[in-house]
Structures are given as structure tokens and as C-alpha cells.
């Protein structure tokens, strides 16, 4: 059986929690309206049932009940947005279970359900105007008669003002509106304490490599040995594992990153390696956004009637210039994000290598991340010992933290390469 939760790899506890909530939400929709006032908050009614005597419509487990605001947390690749979409589908499912085949499930997963809005930040942050418009639309009654759902991917990229607009909506939720936020963690850097206090948290864990490999074999038809290698190399990131298994270019980029430790033979080589890493990230990012950038530009030019010469064309062109400028700004912001993401993937691969050296120096009974560079890591372990391996691992992690804190990537990567060379 593959229902909407089938794509959540290695997250049994979270899935059980979401199933209970979906059942509870469905019971709520079936329950007769008890409030004569009409404006009663359905979810409050459910919460009251939990607090007091659970009625027949309420589930036995109060913690598994429905609520109007959720945060899905977990490391990148653990499936935060997959979980949020699956839960949204279960809420819109005509059977209330997330069967995976009814129109409610199908349109939600396909992104075409009229009552489900998905915010995917393209740039470095989600702005206040976008959030206000969204909150306004989410306040309307669900057209399908079930729930209005807003999914915010990367809620940690909300601007402060956007966060406040969202908080207001979460504090005074319309009766049938559900907010699903995704963030790396509930740390105040990722999500404000006040928003956090209004939400139920669904913690996702890094799925074990065996579970990732299993899904690659079962769903994507990847050969078991390739799936196992990719799952280990991707360190629990399902999407990354799939890309490594399928995309030769992704494998080549990874190989180039893992060749770095061998190439650090001097100061010059360290700077060369830094340049190579930065340029590879830029190239990867450019390739990933080029297609969509071009499509957006063409679509906008068509919509604006590019090349028109009739009456009013001059005025239209002035307006068009503004819109084109807006688009370019958005695209630049997205390109920056894509570069940082690509660089971060490279740094995670590199950290995996030094982590392998560390566990080998410590003779820890743990499987290496990168099976294909295990002998190189073993040589490193002998040369550097545990302490030297740990210092190098820390240098990579410090570089990630510095870039996250807005240090210029080139400067952070150069400092890291020198630290890796010096040891
Ligand atoms: Zn369904």
C-alpha cells in the first residue's frame, strides 16, 4: 500500500503522529456543528474536547489531535516539505486518510488543489508583501469544504516583518485554516519563539542509509549496489542520494570535491582548490537556474507584448521595464541562493571525508560516508591521527557556519583550504 505518506523515508514516528492528526481532523469535519453562535472555532472545540471528556469524534490520544499550526523540522533532505505536502493531502483527502488516489490527495500532491497554497522562497528570504497577500487569501472559506492550507517551505527564510504577519494569522486563525511551516530546527535563529509557541512540532530525523537505499530501489528502480553507495554518500539526504545515483554530472562534481584533500600540497594549491570549489558551485548553480530564468523572461515578454508599436506601446514599455527589473532582481536572488546551496553540498561532502578519517583514526565501528574514498581517508587517518582529522573536520564546519553568517564565500573557503593544508 502506498498512500500519501509512502514517500517519507524512515520517519515512522512522524507519520504515525500525522495519521492520528488527519483522522482527528476528518472526525472534526464529520462532527455536527455544536455551536449555535456559528463563529465558533472548530479547532478550539476539538482542543476543548481533548481537555475535558473526549467525545466520540475525538481520537483516544490527545497528543495526536488536530491543531491549526505545525512546524516540520529536520536536517536538509529529511523530507520536511514532503511531510508537509503529504499531511496537506491527508487533510484534503475525501476519505480523510491520505489514500493517495482520490481527487483531494491527487490535486494536493500535484500542486493544483484550490485550497492549498505553497510558498517556496526563491531568494534568500520571504518578504512581507508576499506573506500578507498569502495570509489574506488563506482566511477565506475552503472551496472544497475541508481546509485552507498554507505550506511555507524554508520558514527560516522569513523576514522579520513577514514573520510578524504570519504570527498574527497564527494567533487568530480562521476556523478552517491550517499553517504548515518547514524549518531546519526550532532554534530561535530558524523560527521565532512566539511562532514556535503556537505550533505543534513534527520532528523528522536523518533517515538511515538503509531506508534511503530501499526507497531508491523500490520507487526509482535503481540497482541495489548503486542505491546503497548513493544513500551512504548522501548522508541521509534522499534527494541528493537520488541525484547521485542517476546523474553522472552530480557524481563528477562530488569526485572533484573529494579530490581536494589529495591536492592540498601548498599555499598555492590551497588557493587553487578554493577557486575551483567556488567556480564549480557557480557553474552548477548557473546550470540549475538558467532554464527557468529564460522561461520566465520569455513568459513575461510575451505577457507584456514585446515588440508592440501601436498606440500606448511606449507607456506599456515603461511599465514593462519596471517588471523586467523586478524579475531580474528575483532571479539574481535565486541565483545567489542556488550558489550557496551548491557550495554547501560540496562542503557537506568534504566534511564527510574528514569525518571518515576521524572515525578510522579512532577505530570507531561505524561505516564510512564515502566508501569510494575510504582508502584515502584511511591514509589521512594515519598521517593526521584523530586530533588532526578533527581539526580538519572543524575547519570545514566552521566554513559552513561562516557562509551561513554571511561571510563572503570565497574568503571563507580560502581560509578553510589553508586550515586543511596546515592541519
Ligand atoms: Zn485521498
pLDDT of residue 299: 76
Ligand 1 centroid–CA 359 distance in Å is: 46
**Residue of higher predicted confidence among 241 and 60:** 241
pLDDT of residue 376: 94
Ligand 1 centroid–CA 412 distance in Å is: 48
The CA distance from 400 to 351, in Å, is 10
Ligand 1 centroid–CA 7 distance in Å is: 15
**Residue of higher predicted confidence among 404 and 407:** 407
The pLDDT-based confidence of 310 (bands split at 50, 70, 90) is low
The pLDDT-based confidence of 170 (bands split at 50, 70, 90) is very high
pLDDT of residue 48: 44
CA angle 240–118–405, rounded 5-degree value: 55
Ligand 1 centroid–CA 170 distance in Å is: 26
Ligand 1 centroid–CA 210 distance in Å is: 29
- Per the CB < 8 A criterion, the answer to whether 147 and 113 are in contact is no
Ligand 1 centroid–CA 100 distance in Å is: 5
CA 48 to chain centre: 33
High-pLDDT (> 70) share of the chain, %: 87
pLDDT of residue 130: 83
How many residues does the structure list for the chain? 423
pLDDT at 159 over 80: yes
CA 94 to chain centre: 27
Over range 267-287, report the average pLDDT.
Answer: 91
Mean pLDDT of the chain: 86
Distance set, CA 101 to CA 94, 107, 220, 419 (Å): 10, 10, 20, 54
Ligand 1 centroid–CA 9 distance in Å is: 20
Strand order in the sheet with 177-183: 116-119, 148-152, 177-183, 69-73, 200-203
Please write the tens of the pLDDT for every residue from 79-92.
Answer: 899 999 999 999 99
Distance set, CA 331 to CA 96, 189, 298, 344 (Å): 39, 25, 13, 20
Over range 278-303, report the average pLDDT.
Answer: 81
DSSP 73: E
Ligand 1 centroid–CA 179 distance in Å is: 20
Distance set, CA 213 to CA 1, 230, 363 (Å): 19, 8, 25
Over range 89-101, report the average pLDDT.
Answer: 94
Ligand 1 centroid–CA 89 distance in Å is: 7
Ligand 1 centroid–CA 92 distance in Å is: 7
Give DSSP secondary structure letters for 226-256.
HHHHHHHHTTT-HHHHHHHHH-HHHHHHHHH
pLDDT at 308 over 60: no
Ligand 1 centroid–CA 106 distance in Å is: 7
Instruction: Give the max Cα distance, the chain.
Output: 79
Distance set, CA 162 to CA 8, 336, 383 (Å): 29, 21, 51
Ligand 1 centroid–CA 94 distance in Å is: 5
High-pLDDT (> 90) share of the chain, %: 52
Query: Which residues contact residue 365 at a Cβ distance below 8 angstroms, ignoring those fewer than 6 apart?
Result: none
pLDDT at 38 over 60: no
Ligand 1 centroid–CA 91 distance in Å is: 9
- Per the CB < 8 A criterion, the answer to whether 384 and 423 are in contact is yes
pLDDT of residue 315: 63
Lowest mean pLDDT among 26-40, 71-85, 139-153, 200-214: 26-40
Ligand 1 centroid–CA 121 distance in Å is: 28
pLDDT at 309 over 90: no
The CA distance from 278 to 261, in Å, is 16
Please write the tens of the pLDDT for every residue from 347-403.
Answer: 999 999 999 999 999 999 988 999 999 999 999 999 999 999 999 999 999 999 999
The pLDDT-based confidence of 53 (bands split at 50, 70, 90) is very low
Over range 141-146, report the average pLDDT.
Answer: 88
Amino acid at each position: 500500500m502506498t498512500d500519501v505518506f509512502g514517500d517519507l523515508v524512515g520517519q515512522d514516528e512522524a507519520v504515525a503522529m500525522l495519521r492520528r492528526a488527519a483522522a482527528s481532523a476528518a472526525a472534526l469535519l464529520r462532527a455536527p456543528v455544536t455551536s449555535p453562535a456559528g463563529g465558533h472555532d472548530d479547532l478550539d472545540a476539538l482542543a476543548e474536547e481533548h481537555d475535558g471528556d473526549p467525545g466520540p469524534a475525538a481520537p483516544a490520544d490527545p497528543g495526536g489531535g488536530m491543531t491549526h499550526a505545525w512546524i516540520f523540522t529536520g536536517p536538509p533532505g529529511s523530507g520536511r516539505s514532503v511531510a508537509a505536502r503529504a499531511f496537506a493531502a491527508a487533510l484534503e483527502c475525501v476519505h480523510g486518510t491520505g489514500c493517495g488516489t482520490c481527487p483531494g490527495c491527487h490535486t494536493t500532491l500535484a500542486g493544483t488543489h484550490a485550497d492549498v497554497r505553497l510558498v517556496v522562497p526563491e531568494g534568500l528570504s520571504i518578504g512581507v508583501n508576499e506573506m500578507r497577500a498569502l495570509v489574506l487569501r488563506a482566511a477565506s472559506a475552503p472551496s472544497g469544504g475541508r481546509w485552507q492550507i498554507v505550506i511555507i517551505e524554508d520558514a527560516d527564510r522569513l523576514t522579520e516583518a513577514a514573520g510578524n504577519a504570519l504570527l498574527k494569522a497564527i494567533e487568530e486563525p480562521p476556523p478552517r485554516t491550517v499553517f504548515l511551516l518547514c524549518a531546519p530546527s526550532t532554534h530561535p535563529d530558524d523560527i521565532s519563539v512566539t511562532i514556535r509557541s503556537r505550533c505543534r512540532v513534527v520532528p523528522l530525523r536523518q533517515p538511515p542509509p538503509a531506508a534511503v537505499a530501499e526507497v531508491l530501489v523500490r520507487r526509482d528502480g535503481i540497482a541495489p549496489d548503486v542505491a546503497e553507495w548513493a544513500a551512504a554518500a548522501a548522508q541521509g539526504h534522499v534527494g541528493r542520494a537520488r541525484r547521485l545515483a542517476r546523474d553522472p554530472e552530480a557524481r563528477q562534481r562530488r569526485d572533484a570535491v573529494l579530490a581536494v584533500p589529495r591536492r592540498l600540497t601548498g599555499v598555492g594549491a590551497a588557493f587553487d582548490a578554493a577557486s575551483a570549489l567556488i567556480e564549480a558551485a557557480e557553474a552548477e548553480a548557473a546550470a540549475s537556474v538558467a532554464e527557468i530564468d529564460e522561461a520566465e523572461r520569455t513568459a513575461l515578454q510575451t505577457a507584456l507584448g514585446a515588440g508592440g508599436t501601436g498606440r500606448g506601446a511606449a507607456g506599456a514599455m515603461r511599465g514593462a521595464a519596471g517588471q523586467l527589473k523586478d524579475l531580474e532582481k528575483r532571479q539574481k536572488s535565486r541565483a545567489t541562493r542556488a550558489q550557496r546551496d551548491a557550495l554547501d553540498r560540496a562542503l557537506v561532502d568534504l566534511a564527510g571525508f574528514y569525518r571518515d578519517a576521524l572515525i578510522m583514526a579512532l577505530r570507531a565501528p561505524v561505516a564510512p560516508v564515502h566508501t569510494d574514498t575510504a582508502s584515502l581517508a584511511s591514509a589521512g587517518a594515519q598521517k593526521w591521527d584523530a586530533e588532526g582529522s578533527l581539526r580538519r573536520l572543524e575547519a570545514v564546519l566552521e566554513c559552513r557556519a561562516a557562509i551561513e553568517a554571511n561571510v563572503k564565500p570565497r574568503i571563507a573557503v580560502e581560509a578553510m583550504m589553508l586550515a586543511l593544508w596546515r592541519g
